[in-house]
Structure 1
Amino acid sequence: MTGAPVQAQRRQPIPIGLGLRKTRENFLARVRAAITGSTRIDEIYEGLEEALISADVGVETSMKLVEAVRSKLRNDARAEIIRDTLKQEMAQALISIERPLNDSSPLVIMMAGVNGVGKTTTVAKLAALLKAERGLVIVAAADTFRAAAIEQLQIWCDRVGVELIKQKQGSDPAAVAFDAVKAANARQARAVIIDTAGRLQTKVNLMEELKKIARVVGREIPGAPHENWLVLDATTGQNALSQAKIFSEAIKLTGVILAKLDSTAKGGVIVAIAERLKLPVRYVGLGEELEDLRSFDASEFVEALFSEADDGRAAASGTYAA
């Protein structure tokens, strides 16, 4: 006779500074070269723009940030002042679109994203985090297109210690989501996370499916889903923006979770998402373990991005090099 699944023990999450190492090393080297390599204003700002683009902030957003810095400083070519002003502008771009999480109970979150971005594992990590913060969490296996998705999610939910509401492969995803929110009401759960399909090759069908899920859960819990979050793969850089635009045509996105941030030098896409899409980044994935999903803090992110520490210790302690 086998025992109950062993639930994972949580450890401290990876510091944001370590997760940003690849992005920071590339970005800071280019910023340093730009602001110290020339005394000509035009060359300095061209170099800054290139530094931002190299971190995948995007051409349009990079130009906007550099222009904001230049308009504030005019002909001031002091390296420290330029760097600090750029840092302030990047922080402001992120902070300006932050908004508090919906405080409904149960909080119903619909998770969207294309196949391969790490959505299913992100759902599990989010379930672990919300369980620790809020209490009882229910997960809905509404990606009924792939049998592997249901099986994978069951393994993760057993590990986390949360209930998974599921049906057989090919079932109506909206019916699974409805069962989950109904169960949440009956069990007085604090949160429901709905995993959805991500097969963009059938774009029209997928978008209609997401709309239907939203309608159905809203009948059981008025106002639900309270949050619609898009999971994006940070390693895809600017391609993440085009994915966000596609999904925003079907559902009103309220936030983004950026997975695999530790695996890329393109972490600047966070700024592009905020500036271009006006969507707050809710969480970032900094590793493969359950604990490696972190709440996103704009000020912490920018401080870590500009930190001269190369081992993440500054980020871990909450203090950073200027």
Structure 2
Amino acid sequence: MRANKLPTEEIKRDPAAFTDRVTADGRFGRTAEAGRYRLVISRACPWAHRVVMTRRLMGLERAVSLAVTDPRQEIIEGDPHWVFTEETGSPGGVDPVLGIHALREAYLARDPGYDGGVSVPGLVDTQSGHLVTNDFDRLSLDLATEWEGLVREGAPDLYPEALREEIEEIGARVYRDLNNGVYRAGFAPDQRRYDDAVAAVFACLDDLEERLTDRRYLVGDSVTMADIRLFATLVRFDAAYHGHFKCNIRKLTEYPALWAYARDLFQTPGFGDTTDLDHVRIHYYWVHEGINPTRIVAAGPDPRGWLTPHHREELGGSPFGEGTAPGPVPEEERVPAIG
């Protein structure tokens, strides 16, 4: 959807345009190699955030470098695009590794005739400059399961085979009614479709509140892909979706179990230390002119609540299962500290 246009129809997400897979054995044609690929993201984007969390939890920071775009998009030939700027660490507005200003250049390097949308995350081959994939879900799963030999010692099992069916069952509901549901509400073209979307958002949150009242994590006794998928939306809920997308029946902070669960994850390495709430607020309020034509960026909410005690450890479980916590965030990837 054009961010600077008023919505005229219900938002629809196109399937990923490029879906090459990268694995340790190269069975799909591309082999996982340290230094070969660069992950282009926006810290505002929940779909990109899933991949960043997975990459950090698996300890792949040195194997796959990270490029961060500006939270404000630039209009190029009439369309908004993810671009590199001095403010996000790209001298002269050009990514120092890929040598490009806009992510769309990697799309066009892959397919000069491409005229579709450009989304983050994008995994780019540093040797050819070609986009490899913008399939955020498959990329997350592959980083969690297919990069053996490059992941850190003690990396958690984020997608246990015995739990995959349950992870995907919960993930389908969360995606439909919450991850994508907030967008359906925010970009609803009429009252009926807004009412339908926002009702589904809060029905899902109500069910998750009940599920998480007596269990620490969504599936099993440790963090899985189900938690990563949910956290990416929860951490943006009060900062963007509650006000900007009119999902304002309740705030996340009004759900005792969900709010404690979200704080538990935020304070777990890999979650809060990959979250930039300034980027979130700036992007949503500045880019979506059709919803917020003044581009005034909301000041709140106060992020310090994310650091308050949650007491979820009393429910048992351990965030990394039989694994260990990731090490410190690389200095060049640190997000602003809260407090």
TM value normalised by structure 2: 0.27
More helix by share: 1
More strand by share: 1
Higher normalized contact order (CA 8 Å, seq sep 6+, divided by chain length) = 1
